[in-house]
């Protein structure tokens, strides 16, 4: 086969450090848009960036030429630097060191989109910590609860 073809949907979640200031609601859309630009700069395709003032959800298509770790590093490193320029309030802004990435089947892309779009409603019922643990358990990921939310 002379072509290398790939269509890998990813759902990526990452969180701010506990010592970091939360992102103001007024700044969230700018942060989402900036992260979307960073995704494009890696050659990947952003489908939706959303979340809350303490965590981010990304649905994207992974480029066949990019590793997941490189994509996440570019998003977190560059957005963290940029967020610090928005306001002096963010002088000490940092993302938590870890992240979670889940593969998404084409058949549940629309469900994942709605999930990310409905974050405000979703978090009226469930905390980020509960949400994150639910994903880890759904995908049967081994984790140590002691370290999941440690900075």
Question: What pLDDT, on the 0 to 100 scale, is given for residue 1?
Answer: 57
The four Cα atoms 69, 126, 108, 145 give a dihedral, to 10 degrees, of 40
Give me the residues paired with residue 58 across strands. Answer: 12, 49
Question: What pLDDT, on the 0 to 100 scale, is given for residue 100?
Answer: 95
Residues 14 and 35: their CA atoms lie apart, in Å, by: 12
Each residue of 100-132: pLDDT tens digit? 999 999 999 999 999 999 999 999 999 999 999
| Strand ranges across the sheet with 45-52 | 45-52, 55-62, 8-15, 100-104
Q: Give the containing element (helix H, strand E) for 69.
A: helix 68-86
Question: What pLDDT, on the 0 to 100 scale, is given for residue 142?
Answer: 92
Question: What pLDDT, on the 0 to 100 scale, is given for residue 135?
Answer: 92
Question: What pLDDT, on the 0 to 100 scale, is given for residue 146?
Answer: 82
Do residues 102 and 135 lie in contact, with contact meaning Cβ atoms separated by under 8 Å?
yes
Low-confidence stretches of the chain (pLDDT < 50) are none
Question: What pLDDT, on the 0 to 100 scale, is given for residue 148?
Answer: 82
């Amino acid at each position: 086969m002379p072509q290398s073809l790939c269509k890998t949907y990813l759902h990526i979640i990452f969180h701010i450090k506990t010592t970091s200031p939360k992102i103001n609601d007024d700044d969230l859309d700018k942060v989402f848009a900036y992260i979307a630009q960073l995704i494009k700069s890696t050659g990947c395709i952003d489908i939706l960036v959303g979340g809350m003032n303490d965590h981010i959800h990304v649905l994207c298509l992974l480029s066949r030429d990019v590793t997941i770790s490189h994509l996440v590093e570019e998003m977190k490193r560059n957005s963290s630097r940029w967020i610090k320029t928005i306001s002096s309030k963010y002088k000490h802004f940092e993302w938590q060191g870890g992240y979670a990435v889940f593969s998404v089947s084409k058949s549940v892309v629309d469900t994942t989109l709605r999930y990310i779009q409905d974050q405000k409603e979703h978090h009226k019922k469930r905390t980020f910590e509960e949400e994150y643990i639910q994903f880890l358990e759904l995908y049967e990921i081994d984790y140590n609860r002691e370290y999941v939310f440690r900075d």
